[in-house]
Amino acid sequence: MNNRLFAIGDIHGCFGSFKELIERKIQLQKNDKLILLGDYIDRGDKSKEVVDFIIKLLEEGYDLVPLLGNHEAMLLDAHKNKEHISKWILNGGSETLKSFKIHSLKDIEFKYLKFFKELRYYYLFGEFLFVHAGFNDNIVNPFEDKYSMLWNCKEFYSNPILINKTIVHGHCPITVSKCEDRIVSKLNSINIDTGCVFKSRDDYGVLTAFECNANRIVIV
């Protein structure tokens, strides 16, 4: 069996969808590689379950590469400096506190802080470049701008370092049909954040996995 390469977009505490996608839809195997594009927490009501499931898969020896999203970065900023707490809370942090059954970030277990602090900003594998949001196209080395990797999405890239790569990212919610269009068109920037947490919006509200080499998506 050929090794498969998957990426999964923003999960935002949607544990049921995430578990179903992994166990039933793509039926993840130990010889598959799975890149998670960040934003595991906030907004949805099961952030802790999502993080616990990722940690469990890593401990069981699955080939997972979890990336840093802007929501994990906001949590880390809030933990380090209380001036950042209100920004995180406004962006769904209160749901994360409830999920972890804590009232303050100072009460979060060390193993979770360690997990968040060790997340990578991007991951390069073959022709694919995985990142939470995007890259700064206007500087010589786009890997130097960490802010853009967490916050700035782009639909097209012209930087010589990026132009021959397929950039797979999340962060900016799009409809399932727009996601499919970009994959069919084989563009060099593929957004797979289909707004899992936005269940009430038409053509959003699903969690998407992109099977990179097969150029297809699987949704829950």
Query: How far is CA 151 from each of CA 3, 25, 140, 146, rounded to the nearest angstrom?
Result: 31, 29, 19, 9
Q: What is the pTM of this model?
A: 0.96
The CATH class of 5-126+173-219 is: alpha beta
pLDDT in the model for residue 203: 81
Alpha helices in the chain (DSSP H): 15-20, 47-59, 70-80, 85-88, 94-99, 110-117, 146-151, 176-184
Asked if 47 and 100 count as a contact pair (C-beta separation under 8 A), the reply is: yes
- Pairing, β 208-211 against β 5-8: antiparallel
pLDDT in tens, the chain (220 residues): 468 999 999 999 999 999 999 999 999 999 999 999 999 999 999 999 999 999 999 999 999 999 999 999 999 999 999 999 999 999 999 999 999 999 999 999 999 999 999 999 999 999 999 999 999 999 999 999 999 999 999 999 999 999 999 999 999 999 999 999 999 998 899 999 999 999 878 888 999 999 999 999 999 9
> Rounded CA gap, 42 and 88, in Å?
9
pLDDT in the model for residue 202: 82
- For tokens 């694919």, the residue is 128
How many other C-beta atoms can be found within 10 angstroms of the C-beta atom of residue 176? 18
CA atoms 19, 73, 118, 162: torsion sign: positive
Asked if 153 and 76 count as a contact pair (C-beta separation under 8 A), the reply is: no
pLDDT in the model for residue 97: 98
pLDDT in the model for residue 56: 98
